[in-house]
Structure 1
Amino acid sequence: MARPPRTPKPPRSTSRQPQGLPDRDTLVNYLRETGEADRAAIARAFGLKGADRRALREMLKELEGEGTVARRGRSGFAQVGALPEVGVVDVSERDADGELLVKLVKGEDAPLVILAPDREAEAGQAPGLGDRLLVRFVRLESGEYEARLIKRLGQSAHRILGVIRKGRREVRVEPVDRRVKDSLLLSAEDGEKLRDGDLVLAAVGAQEKRYGPHRGKVLEVVGREDEPRAASLIAIHSHGIPTGFSEAAEAEAEQAEQPTLSGREDLRDVPLITIDPADARDHDDAVYAEPDTDEGNPGGWIVWVAIADVAAYVRSGSALDREARNKGNSVYFPDRVEPMLPERLSNGLCSLREGENRATMAVRMVFGADGRKRSHRFVRGLMRSAAKLSYEQAQAAIDGKPDDKTGPILETILKPLWAAYETMKKGRDARSPVAIESTERKIVIDKEGKVVSITPRTSLEAHRLIEEMMIQANVCAAETLESKRTPLVYRVHDEPSPEKLMNLVDFLSTLNIAWTKGEAPRTERFNRLLDQVRDTPHFDIVNEVVLRTQMQAHYSSDNIGHYGLNLARYAHYTSPIRRYADLIVHRALIRALKLGDDGLTDQDVAMIKDTAERITAAERRAMAAERDATDRYVASFLSDKVGATFQGKITGVTRFGLFVRLADTGADGLVPVSSLGGEFFIHDDRAHALVGERSGARWPLGMNVEVKLTEATPITGGLLFEMLSEPAPPDRTAPRPRLGLRARNDRRPGGGAGRSLDRGPKRGQTEKKQSKKKGSRRR
């Protein structure tokens, strides 16, 4: 791909440029070559002084009026429509295919350009509408430009999502993002068109006074703050989640046809079943197990995992493919799903519905009695699900409570599945993946969109059965593609960094738990640690710190293995309806095994690294949006319980306060350090605790506490608590914090606990003093 020549700098000597006032064509050519220049630079280039400079100003004014030259900022000029090699842009809109379009910040005349991520950039949260970016403009072979991401300069720095608040004299936009503190002031004309409580996307304008609010302009009304489903709506807009589908993509989905046996193996006699959450709308995996009759494998099992053949419907380069790649994955909110594929596919032809013929990419795996996989083969087939079960149904049947649906298949299908899983567990136990415990919460919303309950999700053996069978199928995909030397997108997970391990060792020493410095961070070592503290009061806190020690998994075209699962090669293959990574792996298998003409293309291969970066960014964008929506729904649920008391646990310790997670709902809120009493607290990051400077009283991570809810703000998802419990007593084995200047002054005559101490130190003073003390300890 050709890159435009680097923009030359304006000449420094008069020998490179004719002296004197240039004619119009010469001036335009100069601007074309330099890309952008202000009047002073142009005057220097042509050696202009006095009257010639005034004439230059008039010439630029005329060219601007004719539309030949355009402004760039306050004093810069460029040829109309010109793009620099590198520039600052705003993400301004999406095209019909869902691609983000960017526009130069300093250039009203500049064209909209499609945004593509820079291939050397680290994957992070994907850009969204309203973001400001530094990009490199690259001319493609077609003559058009694309913008390649270099650096993100700020999320929604110049556009905010907010709520209209109408006062007697003014109308303001209050941001829904807790991190944005300043509201925007709207004109009277804009205010008349809006209602109090409207959710709007607004552009940040100029600041009329040095310390006053910025002016704003409403770009779009996206809903109402009192709508029951406002939480997910805010998350979608705040994080730039792509929504809907283009007409072209919808048309392609509607043209999809029922599968036939052509080019497929008939698997309809294999009684595969789906086991999913009770409220699942799409079913992309089915399982079946039977004893292996091979005399050479006594006690062994054959396990089938059949996955929806999405690649048969979403072909590389199609409108469906472009939008699926842009979305990266489906995004799941408590009240809605923003799917990666149109409903015609995601809930139709690609969903393994009970009793209906479906195209599948299946893997047949053979396990020995020791639980280790002996062989596998992939099949492109036609299947028909024998039953659709929920996790709860399947588990109840195994536990001796079958219903009308599970009763007839208990002996023939369910019990063999569980027996196969019992064998597979031997292999998993020998592998020893990291066994961190986590509790998920289920938000139940009624038809009107109101949160009626928040309950912990029960972890069943049925969940673990499906999880292990999917993991093994994913391993088979990676192994097959590696053996065929076919490029693929791996799911990788690095081992903990040395810095994180040192932090863990320091923390464990505060609990008198030994971990030898320099010891290799093997997964079984973490599991031994968790088993060591399982029946002690320290289990929750150690489990939390071990979780924070782990790195974040991501997608990559280069394999480093999956540390958490303790697997040398791993790829996502089992959910192509909702993850683009799995679709790429399916296409790679089709190409490697010569199972059709709809496999991975040469262009797909060339873009494999870029695809891995894109879908990693999309995954993290989705996670952030889902987390924000959940926080808002939880705050909405608790908004009528302000003043109530709750039992909770300290799950985060920072310089500015304690994060507490409520036991009943799993809601997280903040206890500000200023509300903890009249003492100055030091943040001991080694022990994950706030420590009283005078008394040594401690607020450690993992401590069970009682709190009172003082504030719940559904629009931002914020919760504030007041601490009702007493702190833990001083740790006599820990070094006593030195008395700071503030505490020593308190001992002087008349220097008792005054008003400022009751309110707590100012944040700036707190951070300054804490950082100083932490530094002295480290030295």
Structure 2
Amino acid sequence: MQTKDFLKQLCGGLREIPKKHHSLFYALQKLDAISKKGKIFILKEGYAIGELDVIRKDLIFLKSFCPTHQKDFKLMKAFKGIVSGDIVLVKIISKSTRVRLISILYCPLTYTLVYLEKIKGKICALELKSTQEKPLQIPLKARQKALNSLPPHTVMKVDVRNGEILEILGVLEDERIDEKIILCSYNFKEEFSSSSIALAQSFGEDVYTEFYPHRRDLTHLPFCTIDPSDAKDHDDAIYFNSKEKKLYVAIADVSEYVSKESSIDREARERGFSLYLPHKSIPMLPRELSENICSLKEGKIRLAFVWEITLTSEAKIKETSLFEAVILNHYNLSYEQVDAFIEENKTENIPQNIRESIKSFYPYAIKLFTERLKKGYTFFGDEIKLELDEYTSLKKVKVNLEKVSHHIVEEAMLLANIQSAKLMESLNIQGIFRIHEAMKEEKVFELLSSVQSLGFEGKNKDIHSLITSIQTWAKNKGIEKEVDKMIIKSQNQALYSSENRGHFGLGFESYTHFTSPIRRYSDLLLHRLLKDHLRGGKKLVYLSEGIESLCKNLNESEKKIARAEMEYKDRKFAHWAKVHLGESLKVSVIDTQFPILTQALEKINSARIVLRDKIMCEKFDIFDIIIEEVNLAHAKIYGRIND
């Protein structure tokens, strides 16, 4: 258990204190911050433990780990040398959101990124991640003469405690350092430890059926994968037997290779997810697993965890079964190949048995999709993909719309995820679920008010009828994509939870993630639990230990991954805009509050541009603007309306 995880669990209550954290626990006892309720050790009321967010020296917030603290606290007075990310103990000032710092408990961050800028004749180091108009200055352990010898806008990794320069990454104008900036800023590790690499390599590259007599041999069934054309980590494969109406959803059996608390498991748990950049991925698992023996590669025998789902003619679930198997992926298909086959009957050498499987399942996928929309929702789906050149400069932006191939894969995966959630619920232990709580009433009214200002005339019905009527109106008006984004923004965030609370967006009473264990730790954890259940359930208690804390960490990791992927795109857009200063661009307004925020509709689709004009406008108004300025440090683009 990591220090941060220990402190989070202590805020909720712990029965036993892990030996490695005894000294920290005793320190908290000496500060009189621990109470004991029965056999449970817990943080005393009136105290909080949490993570600091340093905006300025005089503006510091604390995000509490305590489950009962919903709002952030403001620090009254700071200790010298504290930085964002520090974990501290504070005393809550009675009946307020202000707190007094008692002790620094843990300092997970040892460095930050800065860039050099000349201010009033002096070379200063400005914090790269600062979002303030005046970025935070970091004192450097370096003379001005040495700093003057470096190019302008040099980006450096520095020790946050003493200002020592640890590494020079390059200059902001060089696009090749964008990747380094992202990895350093979000503390992502690309390389795995030598012990994890050695363990991954020990499994080899091939699977031999005779070594697994307890598994069902399905190598004769024509499974296929449907993935992006450049995919290397194939998590899932499907096969549909049209005569028996049986759908087989085969998922890479990562849990066979990654046992709890192995070196690979510890590193995968810390990463939580794979990070996908336009030109490469930073995998959750060593590539020896993620792109080799775990990946369901064409023509390779692989271990799989399989749901066998028998359907009725109306696509209702008749019977299900989960089991361990050995499969053979007979063909790797891209989404584009499946779309061309279904829509235009272009076979492109796709084997006959694969064609039959896909084509026969497609009508069932449509029925499943139609049925779930009676309680759930669907939103305008387009994927923005950046194509980079050899120097990682932006060549072009591709907008990929969801088509029939996505329906086929999605409905098959949803079936497997739902059945996994139902089985998880039956185990009577803390499990792992993907939850999405219903919209809050005030958010419904805000959404209704926003769309009414755009011309929607519907009344406040039940929530499902209201949202679907808003979507129908938006589609007829030609603003489906924009309004769908407003609806999504009004909803709660989907989260991982140890308790099932249903999934509002999908309309399911229970839901989880089962189908991507190569790139999501949640799925790997679920596989372990379900597999142990099938084997008698002797390790279920052990395997489910710490799930509540783990779910919170996964939620944080998921947000961090999303921010990192978005920032990388923003940096590529900013570099492109720097080259195209003075050029015109068509944009749509997405936020009318000054400064007005817009989104590019061409050339760099989805890039956000801040307008300098002080004008009255409405959401989704379209303007031709001139790219006026670019801030490469903060990846911001500024424009002015083209008169």
TM-score, normalized by length of structure 2?
A: 0.80
| Distance verdict in 2 for CA 1:121–1:352, change over 3 Å | farther
Residue 424 of structure 1 aligns to a residue whose secondary structure is helix
Q: Which residue of 2 aligns with 1:4?
A: 26
Q: Which residue of 2 aligns with 1:163?
A: 115
Q: Which residue of 2 aligns with 1:578?
A: 519
Q: Deviations over 1:620-673 (max 9, x none)?
A: 110011111111011122221111111121112224333333344224334446
Indicate whether 1:373 and 2:317 are aligned: yes
* 2:497 alignment partner, one of 544, 556, 560: 556
Q: Which residue of 2 aligns with 1:173?
A: 125
Indicate whether 1:202 and 2:158 are aligned: yes
In terms of mean alpha carbon deviation, does 226-235 or 405-414 score higher?
Answer: 405-414
Q: Which residue of 2 aligns with 1:521?
A: 463
Written as runs of structure 1 = structure 2, the 5 A alignment for 1:735-774 is none
Q: Residue 460 of structure 1: CA displacement?
A: 1.7
Q: Residue 217 of structure 1: CA displacement?
A: 3.6
| Distance verdict in 2 for CA 1:119–1:276, change over 3 Å | farther
Q: Which residue of 2 aligns with 1:480?
A: 423
Written as runs of structure 1 = structure 2, the 5 A alignment for 1:294-305 is 301-305=245-249
Q: Which residue of 1 aligns with 2:614?
A: 676
Q: Which residue of 2 aligns with 1:250?
A: 197
CA-based RMSD: 3.5
Q: Deviations over 1:75-131 (max 9, x none)?
A: xxxxxxxxxx9889999xxxxxxxxxxxxxxxxxxxxxxxxx957388999xxx963
Q: Residue 373 of structure 1: CA displacement?
A: 1.7
| Distance verdict in 2 for CA 1:439–1:399, change over 3 Å | closer
Q: Which residue of 2 aligns with 1:449?
A: 392
Q: Residue 410 of structure 1: CA displacement?
A: 5.7
Over alpha carbons, which structure has the higher Rg? 1
Gaps of 5+ in 2: 1-15, 18-24, 35-46, 54-63, 73-81, 91-102
Indicate whether 1:621 and 2:560 are aligned: yes
Q: Which residue of 1 aligns with 2:5?
A: none
Q: Which residue of 1 aligns with 2:409?
A: 466
Q: Residue 711 of structure 1: CA displacement?
A: 1.6
Q: Which residue of 1 aligns with 2:39?
A: none
Indicate whether 1:713 and 2:631 are aligned: yes
* 1:648 alignment partner, one of 587, 594, 597: 587
Residue 414 of structure 1 aligns to a residue whose secondary structure is helix
Written as runs of structure 1 = structure 2, the 5 A alignment for 1:261-272 is 261-272=212-223
Q: Which residue of 2 aligns with 1:607?
A: 546
Q: Which residue of 2 aligns with 1:436?
A: 379
| Distance verdict in 2 for CA 1:465–1:236, change over 3 Å | same
Give the % identical residues. 23
Q: Residue 516 of structure 1: CA displacement?
A: 3.9
Q: Residue 354 of structure 1: CA displacement?
A: 0.7
Indicate whether 1:510 and 2:456 are aligned: no
Q: Could you tell me how far apart the structure 1 residues matched to 2:149 and 2:68 are? A: 42
Q: Residue 371 of structure 1: CA displacement?
A: 2.1
| Distance verdict in 2 for CA 1:398–1:89, change over 3 Å | closer
Q: Which residue of 2 aligns with 1:298?
A: none
Indicate whether 1:312 and 2:256 are aligned: yes
Contact 2:301/2:328 (<8 A) preserved: yes
Q: Residue 575 of structure 1: CA displacement?
A: 0.2
| Distance verdict in 2 for CA 1:540–1:88, change over 3 Å | closer
Query: 1:590 corresponds to which letter in structure 2?
Result: K
| Distance verdict in 2 for CA 1:671–1:135, change over 3 Å | closer
Q: Deviations over 1:564-617 (max 9, x none)?
A: 0000000000000000000011011111111798xx653331211011111111
Q: Residue 367 of structure 1: CA displacement?
A: 1.6
Q: Residue 393 of structure 1: CA displacement?
A: 1.2
Query: 1:574 corresponds to which letter in structure 2?
Result: T
Q: Which residue of 2 aligns with 1:285?
A: 236
Contact 1:164/1:171 (<8 A) preserved: yes
Q: Which residue of 2 aligns with 1:232?
A: 179
Q: Residue 172 of structure 1: CA displacement?
A: 3.2
Q: Could you tell me how far apart the structure 2 residues matched to 1:619 and 1:345 are? A: 22
Q: Could you tell me how far apart the structure 2 residues matched to 1:603 and 1:224 are? A: 49
| Distance verdict in 2 for CA 1:446–1:152, change over 3 Å | farther
Residue 4 of structure 1 aligns to a residue whose secondary structure is helix
Residue 577 of structure 1 aligns to a residue whose secondary structure is coil
Query: 2:625 corresponds to which letter in structure 1?
Result: V
Pairs aligned (count): 571
Residue 132 of structure 1 aligns to a residue whose secondary structure is coil
Query: 2:493 corresponds to which letter in structure 1?
Result: Q
Q: Could you tell me how far apart the structure 1 residues matched to 2:33 and 2:274 are? A: 45
Contact 1:178/1:718 (<8 A) preserved: no
Contact 1:88/1:132 (<8 A) preserved: no
Q: Could you tell me how far apart the structure 2 residues matched to 1:124 and 1:397 are? A: 52
Gaps of 5+ in 1: 10-32, 36-84, 92-116, 138-149, 207-215, 294-300, 678-697, 726-779
Q: Could you tell me how far apart the structure 2 residues matched to 1:388 and 1:622 are? A: 27
Residue 282 of structure 1 aligns to a residue whose secondary structure is coil
| Distance verdict in 2 for CA 1:619–1:407, change over 3 Å | same
Q: Could you tell me how far apart the structure 2 residues matched to 1:594 and 1:546 are? A: 43
Q: Could you tell me how far apart the structure 1 residues matched to 2:117 and 2:88 are? A: 36
Contact 2:49/2:65 (<8 A) preserved: no
Contact 1:648/1:660 (<8 A) preserved: yes
TM-score, normalized by length of structure 1?
A: 0.67
Q: Which residue of 1 aligns with 2:619?
A: 701
Query: 1:434 corresponds to which letter in structure 2?
Result: Y
Contact 1:651/1:660 (<8 A) preserved: yes
Query: 1:520 corresponds to which letter in structure 2?
Result: D
Query: 2:567 corresponds to which letter in structure 1?
Result: D
Residue 389 of structure 1 aligns to a residue whose secondary structure is strand
Contact 1:707/1:724 (<8 A) preserved: yes
Indicate whether 1:414 and 2:358 are aligned: yes
Q: Could you tell me how far apart the structure 1 residues matched to 2:494 and 2:105 are? A: 22
Query: 2:198 corresponds to which letter in structure 1?
Result: A
Q: Residue 451 of structure 1: CA displacement?
A: 1.5
In terms of mean alpha carbon deviation, does 242-251 or 573-582 score higher?
Answer: 242-251
Contact 1:439/1:456 (<8 A) preserved: yes
| Distance verdict in 2 for CA 1:540–1:614, change over 3 Å | closer
Contact 1:494/1:553 (<8 A) preserved: yes
| Distance verdict in 2 for CA 1:641–1:90, change over 3 Å | same
Q: Which residue of 2 aligns with 1:593?
A: 534
Residue 327 of structure 2 aligns to a residue whose secondary structure is strand
Q: Residue 370 of structure 1: CA displacement?
A: 1.9
Residue 340 of structure 1 aligns to a residue whose secondary structure is coil
* 1:133 alignment partner, one of 86, 91, 96: 86
